[in-house]
Amino acid sequence: MRRRGTTSLRERRSSPAVELTSSRVEDSLSYDRKRAAEMVLALMYLELHQEGRAWKGYPWDVLDFLFEGGLITNPARKAKSVVLTESGLAEATRCFDELLAVKSAAGQRTKAAPARPEELPDIQRARVDALLGPMCQPHPDPQIAAEVRRGYRVEGADAELFESRPSFLEPDVWRERPVAKFRFNKSRGAWQLFCMFRDLKWHAYEPLPESLDLAELVREVQRDPIGIFWG
């Protein structure tokens, strides 16, 4: 499967009806794949767990449609769930609001806001500092240190690694470029790894989406086998 650029379902053209044949019935079913995708996203929103994951027990044709639109990670992976991208979460929220949310007495739909990530436990914060701190030390070569810096910040359960370089037009102004994001999932005791695509949004790093050991993810970023982190 090949993923195309990320777009909202509203922006995508209406899909032709798809014929779905079941081995249990003699007649085939035709359906609108775009509308089916909106219903699946609404249901995924209803069952979100583990910070953006949803079970993938839906027709493969619809999952492929969502993957091609950049709304979920590759459903062909062995995992029983998929991760919604930031665009996918936004679309899922809209679909849930329009299709499943219950109207309040004022006539407005009520929707549950996605759970905010928990604060990073002290022991995990110390782990972040121990692993990312050395990576962000000034380069021993003064010329290189004057051209590039590395840093990291911790917000909630996220640790973001970034790189800074002087602006071409304003050399005294340093511009940040995101490199990687690490997110701690307290319920699973695992770390998740995200990379930034050309759409300037964070997406799950599919070759190694999570690990119980933060060091394994940091090593993957340092190796950068597919050239997504350091360019």
pLDDT tens string 99-138: 888 766 555 555 555 545 468 899 999 999 999 999 999 9
- Measure the CA–CA gap between 134 and 44, rounded to whole angstroms: 39
160 and 196 Cβ atoms separated by less than 8 Å: no
Task: Quote the pLDDT of residue 149.
Answer: 93
What are the structural domains, with CATH classification, of the chain? 17-110 (1.10.10), 122-223 (no CATH)
Whether the predicted pLDDT of 72 surpasses 60: yes
Highest mean pLDDT: which range of 21-25, 114-118, 187-191, 226-230: 226-230
Q: Over the stretch 185-225, which tens digit does the pLDDT of each residue have?
A: 888 899 999 999 888 889 999 999 999 999 999 999 999 99
Q: Which residues 6+ apart lie within 8 Å of 38 measured at CB?
A: 9, 95, 98, 99
